[in-house]
Amino acid sequence: MMYPKTVYIHTIGCQMNVYDSERIAGGLAPLGYRQVSEPESADLVILNTCAIREKAEQKVFSFLGRMAGLKRKNPELIIGVGGCVAQQEGRKILDRAPYLDLVFGTHAVSRLPVLIQQVETTGGRLVDVALSDTIQESPIYAASPNLDQISRFVTIMQGCDNYCTYCVVPYVRGREMSRSPERILSEIQALADAGIREVTLLGQNVNSYGKKEGLCDFSELLTRVNGIEGLLRIRFTTSHPKDLSDDLIATFNRLDKLCKHIHLPVQSGSTRILSRMNRKYTRDMYLEKIARLRDACPDIAITSDIIVGFPGETPEDFEDTLSLIRQVAYDGLFAFMYSDRPNAPAAHFPEKISEAEKAERLQRVLGLQETLTLEKNQSLVHSVQVVLVEGVSQRMNASEASPETTPQWYGRTPGHKIVHFPERERLGASGNLGRLKTIRIEKAFSHSLWGRPVSQEE
Ligand code: SAH
Ligand code: SF4
Ligand code: F3S
């Protein structure tokens, strides 16, 4: 295959966008586009955007500002904007950025090669933000362009039907739709054949996989993925607490490749706020699910998302969130300041919380979690962890450095914690990459662990 042209793809947003960017690269390769890591040398620039919070949206326009300069230097440069902001704004982005050639929505990824050919041949400024009621599949593109990559995301379902009142996703990704298990399995098999060792299955609410379409359910899908030869690990995200079933909880013990980690976003610890968010569970219902998970699987890692400063969140509601975080003692947490989204109903809710108050609440959540994460990590000292090796460690931060001078590798535990370890044996070029290593943990830090391969212990 000849690659006479180059494309630079810039991705903002969640893992689904990362996956879509892989599809974009895959779809453009047959047109002769090779991916490059700098926009300056590219013939085509694609920006894949996120609309989840105002800050993410601002990044889009600051990036486009930079691209305007490149277009002045190279008028032949083609610039396209895709993803959630493209879906939300459509033609309006063309008006705002006169140097743009193409706006394509979240359901137009499979049509992108045709759109780009149109721009190449006839020029013109195109907009394709049609939402379909069937999945628009792309040809399977498995060849991993990056030899160092051992882990990939695979979207198993699009869109969302949950309409949490703060969230833009149902509007920019459309109705919930599941891909067929056959497509998903052949895609993952192709990835495994190309050297990928871990996949993370993506959906906004994986618990409802296949239900609408009458396909197999999510546990069954996981079981089938578990059978894929060459694959070592499976992860998934996101599970909505309201739909987490005992059947899915049981799969953690049943499937050997499924990592014992669940991301179960709670958003708030106050039942009053949860109801205003339209999350459809109470604080107690959530805590009950956590208890069931830990009953079935005592060592499961649990992570979550928190929104602070939702409209009407009183100091008491916020204390409920802090106490829930303490009670669950999460392994990790993503916390966000509530941000008004134009399409989402909460934008019109009264009793907005000030930016300063939101910032203070965010700091308190992050501070609390830092203590909890360190405690969790310390509890793992002396334990034995199986780590999937992802690469050679960069120079470790001085406080985390070990007295060892032998090369250091790093990988992740099933609970997604980073472990650094020294390797005394001489290894070939790819070394430990993509292998499972058994490590005894000796030290814990706030963002990582350090240990020694069990086979090399004195
Ligand atoms: N489907 C997933 C969430 C996807 S969005 C779920 O239901 O959990 C990822 C996270 O962004 C959410 O969990 C939420 O914490 C955060 N988020 C979404 N909309 C937001 C908003 N308007 N302001 C602040 N954070 C938001
Ligand atoms: Fe957004 Fe709620 Fe759907 Fe998650 S479940 S994507 S937070 S609407
Ligand atoms: Fe952002 Fe769209 Fe993902 S809004 S978080 S890129 S689904």
H-type alpha helices, 34-90? 54-73, 84-89
Asked whether 307 lines ligand 1 (CB < 6 A), one says yes
Q: Give residue 161's identity as a one-letter amino acid code.
A: D
Consecutive H or E run containing 229: none
Q: What is the DSSP letter of 404?
A: -
CA distances (Å), 71 to each of 25, 81, 111, 162, in order?
21, 14, 24, 41
The residues with which 151 forms a beta bridge, in sequence order, are: 198
Mean pLDDT, consecutive 10-residue stretches, the chain (458 aa), reads 88 96 93 93 96 95 93 94 97 93 97 96 92 88 67 96 97 97 95 94 96 95 97 97 96 97 98 98 98 97 98 98 98 97 95 98 98 96 96 64 70 96 75 91 95 82
Q: At what angle do helices 315-328 and 283-296 cross, to 10 degrees?
A: 10
Q: What is the pLDDT of residue 1?
A: 62
Residue 423's pLDDT is 83
55 Cβ neighbours under 8 A, 6+ residues apart: 339
CA 84 to ligand 3 centroid distance, Å: 6
For 60, phi then psi, to 5°, come to -60, -50
| Centre of ligand 2 from the C-alpha of residue 269, in Å | 17
| pTM for this entry | 0.95
Which strand ranges, in their side-by-side order, compose the sheet holding 301-308? 261-263, 301-308, 332-337
Measured N-to-C along each axis, helices 112-122 and 15-28 cross at an angle, to the nearest 10 degrees, of 50
CB distance 152 to ligand 2 below 6 Å: no
If one residue of 9, 10, 12, 16 were mutated to test the ligand 3 pocket, choosing by the most ligand atoms within 8 A of its CB, it would be 16
Which amino acids bring their CB within 6 angstroms of ligand 3? 13-14, 16-17, 50-52, 83-84, 168-169, 172-173
Q: Which residues pair with 436 in a beta bridge?
A: 388
**Region class of 163: left (phi > 0), else alpha (psi between -120 and 50), else beta:** left
| DSSP-assigned states of every residue in 324-378 | HHHHHT-SEEEEEE----TTSGGGG-SSPPPHHHHHHHHHHHHHHHHHHHHHHHH
Domains, the chain? 5-128 (3.40.50.12160), 148-259 (3.30.750.210), 266-378 (3.30.750.200), 384-453 (2.40.50)
Q: Does the beta carbon of 163 sit less than 6 angstroms from any atom of ligand 2?
A: yes
The 44-49 sheet, strands edge to edge: 33-35, 5-11, 44-49, 78-83, 102-104, 126-128
